[in-house]
Amino acid sequence: MMPLQTKGMTLAFETADFQQLRPLLDNKTVDCVTLVDSYLKRIRQHQRLNAFISVFDDRARQAAAAIDLKIKTGDAGKLAGLVIAIKDLICIKNERTTCGSKILSNFIPPYDAFVIKRLLAEDAILIGKTNMDEFGMGSSTENSHFGAALNPHDMARVPGGSSGGSAVAVADGQCTASLGTDTGGSIRQPASFCGVVGLKPTYGRVSRFGLVAYASSLDQIGPITRSVPDAAMLLQVIAGHDRRDSTSASLPVPDYSSGMKNGVSGLKVGVPREYISESVQLEVSAAIERTIDSLRQGGASIEQTSLPHSKYAIATYYIIATAEASSNLARYDGTRFGYRAGDADDLESMYVKTRSQGFGEEVKRRIMLGTYVLSAGYYDAYYRKAQKVRTLIKQDFDRAFEKFDVLIAPTAPTTAFGLGEKLDDPLTMYLSDIFTVSINLAGVPAISIPVGYDSNKLPIGAQVIAKAYNEATLFHVGYFLEQESSAKMSDSN
């Protein structure tokens, strides 16, 4: 580990969360400038992981120096000294936002996203924009115009996607935390593959203003962190109503840290039988069983339940998401902004060549599928029917949460798979999200918690799911599991 030299002590900053760093910043044991320089050095040394598309060296150092002064005067915000990376489809004023795509490779937004304004208001330090599957379309971060990101636990394997760069940056100690987006599992699955905490909040809990849309009824911004308390602190800052997002919930944001450490005694936990199948890697199943046993020993009641329409989730998701992508990505035509083909003879050929050259293969595949399901003669057969099934999936969760406080399941059916292993088989790649897409269709929150490793020393994640706007319970259960997992790993060492 690369030590961070502080006044009279050494800190392994690569594994430290913000709960450990902030007291050191407050008592001047370490300063923000030194911390930022340490992260920047780490990013340079580990460039091969390809976690970042853009790195804000000067901006981060300047912000760190200003925040050091605020800490000295006692005027610093809640996140003073938190060095955070941002998935490269969240707009930052005057900083390149590419969405991992050639078509936006030189796009500079003229405004900050809602979540960026919230972070800056609390003195978080933005260190760069992270690599991702193009426009969020992928489960491996191999569909990036800027090259694949690599899993820090095994560089021959994927980090998951589409927020793979965000998960890699946190797992490898290139920042303290990051923001990702989750449309069908894009925060939780890479968090599972990289061994970090990943939260998908309730749809509407965090404003999407300034988020470049993939599928507008499914997208949600959330934190990727090294600990559950850090995730709770970040959500506390970025959550809340925003009049510029018509889907933003006008609900109070609770104190997520309150009661987090009270244990799980008395909680009712459901285990969906549809998430227990032969397709799940045996070591993943075993880790989930151990996680369930930990909850039982902690005083929670465990009972099997059913989400009967889960088997339709993948098909439903890939109709609705691609239809919305077809609509949202129509704006990238070379006319107003972004890449424009230079060898076009007329307007129509400019459209065709721009989109053919500017979009990658997976994005083009999804645009074509979405356009097809929205076309005359097929709309009722596919899109309308998918929306009806989505309602049934949501009703399954509604019924489950009448009885249970949380549901628990694997985050992904396997640990991280090999680079290139699934690129030529899109359907197999899509099935990587089999346990996550239904949560987005239902609009409920879920969190992935690291709960162990397989025989190849690859991380395994457990997914905890709660009813809408009940993220506090996710943090409650997640903290318990985090402590249990840490204790068992310490005992094994």
DSSP of 177-224: EEEEE-SSSTTHHHHHHHTSEEEEPPTTTB--TTBPPSSTTT--EEEE
Please confirm, yes or no, whether 162 is among the known catalytic residues.
Answer: yes
The residue assigned the tokens 């003229």 is 110
Closest CA to 119 of 177, 163, 164, 69: 177
User: Which tokens hold the place of 181?
Assistant: 């987006």
The residue assigned the tokens 């590419």 is 98
Q: Dump pLDDT digits (tens) for 364-392.
A: 999 999 999 999 889 999 999 999 999 99
Please confirm, yes or no, whether 163 is among the known catalytic residues.
Answer: no
CATH number of 4-238: 3.90.1300.10
pTM: 0.96
Peptide bond into 448 cis (omega under 30): no
- Given the residues 38, 101, 178, 186, the one annotated as active site: 186
- Given the residues 140, 162, 227, 294, the one annotated as active site: 162
* Parallel/antiparallel/unpaired status of strands 4-6 and 9-11: antiparallel
Q: Dump pLDDT digits (tens) for 15-28.
A: 899 999 999 999 98
Strands annotated E in 338-477: 406-410, 446-453, 459-466
User: Which tokens hold the place of 194?
Assistant: 């990289």
Strands annotated E in 358-458: 406-410, 446-453
- pLDDT confidence of residue 9: 46
- The C-alpha atoms of residue 178 and residue 187 are separated, in whole angstroms, by 10
Q: Tell me the domain boundaries of the chain.
A: 4-238, 268-307+392-492, 316-379
Q: Dump pLDDT digits (tens) for 257-286.
A: 998 999 999 999 999 999 988 789 999 999
Please confirm, yes or no, whether 186 is among the known catalytic residues.
Answer: yes
CATH superfamily, region 268-307+392-492: Amidase signature (AS) domain (3.90.1300.10)
Find the largest Cα–Cα distance for the chain: 72
- Given the residues 87, 129, 422, 467, the one annotated as active site: 87
Q: Can 4-238 and 268-307+392-492 be said to share one CATH topology?
A: yes
- pLDDT confidence of residue 279: 85
Residue 244 clears pLDDT 80, i.e. is over it: yes
Contacts of 255 by beta carbon, 8 Å cutoff, 6+ apart? 236
Closest CA to 435 of 454, 415, 412: 412
